[in-house]
Chain A
Amino acid sequence: MTPLLEVDRLRISFPRPGDAPLVPVDDVSFALAPGELLALVGESGCGKTLTGLSLPRLLPAGAEIGADSSIRFNGQEITGLSERELRAIRGRRIALVFQDPMTSLNPVMRVGRQIIEAITAHQRVTRSAARERAIALLTEVGIADPATRVDEYPHQLSGGMRQRVMIAMALAGEPDLLVADEPTTALDVTVQAQILELLDRLRASRGMAVLLITHDLGIVAGRADRVLVMYAGRIAESAPTATLFRQPAHPYTRGLFASIPRLDATNARLPTIAGSVPRPDRWPTGCRFHPRCPVAIPHCSVERPPLAEVAPMQRAECWVAQGEHA
């Protein structure tokens, strides 16, 4: 199947006057098939949010995409498009759902009005047709009594309902790809599961691809088709979800799994990964994980490993996982 989205050698940099540019995303490549749910997992500052924002080119001011980077969506190159052409893609082909539903909805606008705004940004429809579609969308995202809720303000809704409204707005343009950036982080655990359930259901019913950006490996299990693990601006490991959970190849991924609390654990202290994520201006040479890596060999600090296959469908950016010994 031809991929819906192909990201090739994505590099996002922030030029600094009189200094080397900051490169929070460096040489990231991945593909996404239509209807696939791909999870992008990583710690704060690893570049996962910037990667998501770069798809509809919504990067913050000052950010630059590398000259040889390529983002192809449905065969169309995104990196060279004008603002005007991008607006036709934003919401219509690629829609974003942000982390915080408390601040991502306009507090002075009724939620129905906000969904209608998202509809009319791309389609010419009558007022009553738009309202009916807004109610239908609210029904689709599982909001009870949508005919009443449509006329309410965001502060009258719970956090989970607001995130459902955000998703309804994102669905308004009938996108082919939904980028959800930490969509459940601000929500209660029980509500988190419901929202993920909803995303999974919408993907199935609409054939829509979903890029789920999260720091939580736990919410990935059982839902994502594939997982990309990001570390320090690069993809450390890429594997089908089941493979990744069964046999993580990269020491960083293994560290992440080890630091998830387990109910049957007997040891009192939770294992952690020593040290912290380096800042984008202090990235180590060679493999970026080697200063924190428990299995590092001399080669790791000298040369950066390629992202190469270590098992069928599983790729890891690690010399050791690729079979080298000290």
Chain B
Amino acid sequence: MTREARIGVTLGGLLLLLGVAGPIIAPDPLAPMSGPLLHPSLANWFGTDQFSRDVFARVAHGARISLGVALIAVAISTLIGTAAGLIAGASTRSGSAIASRCIDLGLALPRVVVLLVLLAAVGTLPLPLFAVVLGLTGWPGIARLVRGETLRLRHAPFVTAAEALGANTGRVLWREIFPGTLGPVLVAATLGVADAMLLEAGLSYLGLGVRPPHPSWGGMILEAREYLGAAPWLLLAPGVALGLATCAATLLGDALRRSLQPDAK
């Protein structure tokens, strides 16, 4: 394992620990402490916010929400995107055309606008459903990537070699082409995690995602904006958490890509 991979694993592990164990040791994220906008102290590690709530508790609870929503969303969009991309890149002429037009349509619709319209129409969704909706709008980018990789690998010499030894289309697609697309897909997916967290933050701010008083990192950052001068820890705590999470996701993705592409330097 490289040093970057070890850092990624450590960071990711710490954040997961924060999400799992943090809420147990931290106070209730909704209960008021001794006062509003308190400096970080031994009693309140990351200080308190404008409603006297413990910021550490909110960051820890927010880890569950932000990471959970982002991971579910990315898992869904990666699955759909990979399937659509493989079909578009490798299936018969008509199947490929249908899948390709679906991808083009998906790419033509701006994700934020689709989400705004959708969420405005149906109102607030339960958190898991919100994550699913986020995932359902995120797949076209991945699909375009996979389609391109598939088209590139479709006529690679090793694919021809496999066909020359009697491999059928399904075998070629699944055994020869799919593993080759994993590297770029994982990189895109890790970036997608960061993207999903930021998108969730933006939607939460507009009251369409995670509703206050429930804490999400994005929501906390946007709320902290008003107290930037008086209480910078309000911004720093969730901001650093978001940054570290993005960092961990990217490093882990890179490490995965290396292990899947054994000849990568």
Q: A residues near B, CB below 8 A?
A: 56, 58, 87-92, 95-96, 98, 100, 103-109, 117-118, 121-122, 153-156, 166, 169-170, 172-173
Whether B164 contacts A107 by the Cβ 8 Å rule is no
Inside 8 A of A108's CB, which chain B residues have their CB?
A: 179-180, 182-183, 260-262
Inside 8 A of A154's CB, which chain B residues have their CB?
A: 263
Size band of the B side of the interface? Answer: 20 to 34
Q: B residues near A, CB below 8 A?
A: 156-158, 160-168, 171, 175-176, 179-180, 182-183, 260-263
Closest residue on chain B to residue A108 by CB atoms: B179
**Most chain B CB within a 10 A radius of its CB, from A90, A103, A105, A108:** A108
How far is B164's CA from A170's CA once the two chains are assembled, in angstroms?
9
How far is B62's CA from A320's CA once the two chains are assembled, in angstroms?
90
How far is B158's CA from A166's CA once the two chains are assembled, in angstroms?
10
How far is B164's CA from A121's CA once the two chains are assembled, in angstroms?
11
Whether B161 contacts A98 by the Cβ 8 Å rule is yes
Inside 8 A of A109's CB, which chain B residues have their CB?
A: 175-176, 179
Inside 8 A of A105's CB, which chain B residues have their CB?
A: 158, 161
Inside 8 A of B263's CB, which chain A residues have their CB?
A: 107, 153-155
Q: How many A-B residue pairs have CB under 8 A?
A: 84
**Most chain B CB within a 10 A radius of its CB, from A109, A122, A155:** A109
Whether A121 contacts B158 by the Cβ 8 Å rule is no
A101 vs chain B, min Cβ distance (A): 9
Q: A153 with B166: in contact, given A105-B158, A108-B180, A117-B171 (CB under 8 Å)?
A: no
A180 vs chain B, min Cβ distance (A): 12
Whether B171 contacts A100 by the Cβ 8 Å rule is no
How far is B185's CA from A108's CA once the two chains are assembled, in angstroms?
14
Inside 8 A of B162's CB, which chain A residues have their CB?
A: 106, 117-118
B88 vs chain A, min Cβ distance (A): 18
Other A-B contacts than A90-B165, A91-B166, A100-B157, 18 sampled, CB-CB below 8 A, are A58-B164, A87-B166, A87-B167, A88-B166, A90-B166, A91-B165, A106-B176, A107-B180, A107-B263, A108-B180, A108-B261, A109-B179, A117-B162, A117-B175, A118-B165, A121-B167, A153-B262, A173-B165
